[in-house]
Structure 1
Amino acid sequence: MAAAAPPPPPTPTPSPPFTLPETTPIGNPLFVRIRLATKSDVPHIHKLIHQLALFERLPHHCSATESSISATLFNSPPFHSFTVFLLEVSPHPFSPSPHPTHPFYPPTIKTTNLDLPVSDPEKEVFRSDENDNDVVVAGFVLFFPNYSTFLAKPGFYIEDLFVRECYRRMGFGKMLLSSVAAQAVKMGYGRVEWAVFNWNVDAIRFYEEMGAQVLQEWRICRLAGDALQAHGH
């Protein structure tokens, strides 16, 4: 889906921790955090990928394992290759995270107020590796740098963006997408791109409302499986 590996992107200037303004906790507050994933998050990333494959009606194409993800996903510094932002939620304020904080992307934290508490049937399965047992992984976005020759600038390509079903329609997908876009702006990149299925009209409407242009004239071309291997002989 992406072109050949782009040249290393420019090194961003470290910025101080950024925390979105929090609303006054009333009703049913849900505390939300977006942070850089680490190798210790692979079990949750693996489960999220398989849920995404089911949602996209492509489980027969999903062969990812925890071992293959761990071996391929965290071999380069964040933003220079494959990068994952993890979405976590908790009914209580977050305790200090046991995960290392990257100087170029401190966690983003905000609070949202819900009319009713979220019923999460998979809470135990997606419980985060935290000091606070109430922290749950709710989604992720995986992206990596590409390059625009027309702009003569790097950009980001979003491979996957997924929010678990019980946490949808709460603005969390927008938070994940906006976090990638904000990082692109911070690094002086030219654009952020991704693909969407033409049957997913809700997603298309959501992206258009965010200001994204859905390019009708482009089609994705892919070499994979036997067709790809044939070029190696």
Structure 2
Amino acid sequence: MDTNLDDFKLRLAERKDVPLILEFIKELADYEKMLDEVVATEEILTESLFEKKAAEVVIGEYQNKPVAFALFFHNFSTFLGRPGIYLEDLYVKPEMRGKGIGKMMLSFLAHLCVERKCGRLEWWCLDWNEPSIQFYKKMGAVPMDEWTVYRVTGDALDQLAAEFNR
């Protein structure tokens, strides 16, 4: 898909892009100082993205070279009675930042929200990531300070799941 940025195009990821997607995930995790937490493999991503279709990925290409990606999926707002788009990851290679690529990626997702009649576009941002926080606020994003994210994973997830069959 053409964009308003010279030499920058977007395309939806295909199965053959799985190694690239994993590479982007690892680069993002390294930036976030969380590389040791990445357990995704090409096989897991293939199953999740292209067999179960649990999420979608858009690839950003500058001069036909992949330089950015966004991984997203639908959630649902009971208050709005509509789906939303949750952006799990947005990553732009460091050497390509400041060129409007991140904004174009978010603009595409906002366009997709409107096209799909979604009520909102949302994502999380690490508290220490001040450059991203300022970037998001410039685009009108509002932090949801009154909410706390809770997560159950690993052994705690297994234990909670086991309660169902007792």
Q: What's the TM-score once normalised by structure 1's chain length?
A: 0.66
C-alpha distance in 1 between matches for 2:42 and 2:4: 36
Q: Deviations over 1:162-185 (max 9, x none)?
A: 011111111101111111110000
C-alpha distance in 2 between matches for 1:19 and 1:61: 35
State the one-letter code of the partner of 2:26: H
C-alpha distance in 2 between matches for 1:200 and 1:218: 18
Tell me which residue corresponds to 1:86.
59
C-alpha distance in 1 between matches for 2:89 and 2:108: 14
Tell me which residue corresponds to 2:24.
48
C-alpha distance in 2 between matches for 1:54 and 1:63: 13
Tell me which residue corresponds to 2:100.
171
Identity of aligned residues (%): 38
Q: Of 45, 64, 74, which residue of structure 1 is paired with 2:50?
A: 74
Q: 1:180-219, aligned counterparts within 5 Å? A: 180-219=109-148
Q: Of 132, 141, 146, which residue of structure 1 is paired with 2:75?
A: 146
- Corresponding residue SS for 1:198: coil
Per chain length, whose mean CA-contact separation is higher, i.e. which structure has more relative contact order (CA < 8 Å, sep 6+)?
1
Tell me which residue corresponds to 1:33.
9
State the one-letter code of the partner of 1:66: E
**How far 1:63 moved relative to its partner?**
0.8
**How far 1:186 moved relative to its partner?**
0.9
Q: Deviations over 1:91-145 (max 9, x none)?
A: xxxxxxxxxxxxxxxxxxxxxxxxxxxxxxxxxxxxxxxxxxxx21101000000
- Corresponding residue SS for 1:46: helix
State the one-letter code of the partner of 2:12: L
C-alpha distance in 1 between matches for 2:90 and 2:147: 20
Work out whether residues 3 and 104 of structure 2, in 8 Å CA contact, stay in contact via their aligned partners in 1: no
Which protein has the larger Cα radius of gyration, Structure 1 or Structure 2? Answer: 1
Q: 1:150-165, aligned counterparts within 5 Å? A: 150-165=79-94
State the one-letter code of the partner of 2:57: V
Q: Which has the higher helix share?
A: 2
- Corresponding residue SS for 1:74: helix
**How far 1:66 moved relative to its partner?**
1.2
**How far 1:74 moved relative to its partner?**
1.2
C-alpha distance in 1 between matches for 2:39 and 2:4: 40
Q: Deviations over 1:38-69 (max 9, x none)?
A: 11101110100000110111111111111111
Query: Following TM superposition, where does structure 1 have runs of at least 4 consecutive aligned residues deviating by more than 6 angstroms?
Result: none
RMSD: 1.5
C-alpha distance in 2 between matches for 1:171 and 1:20: 11
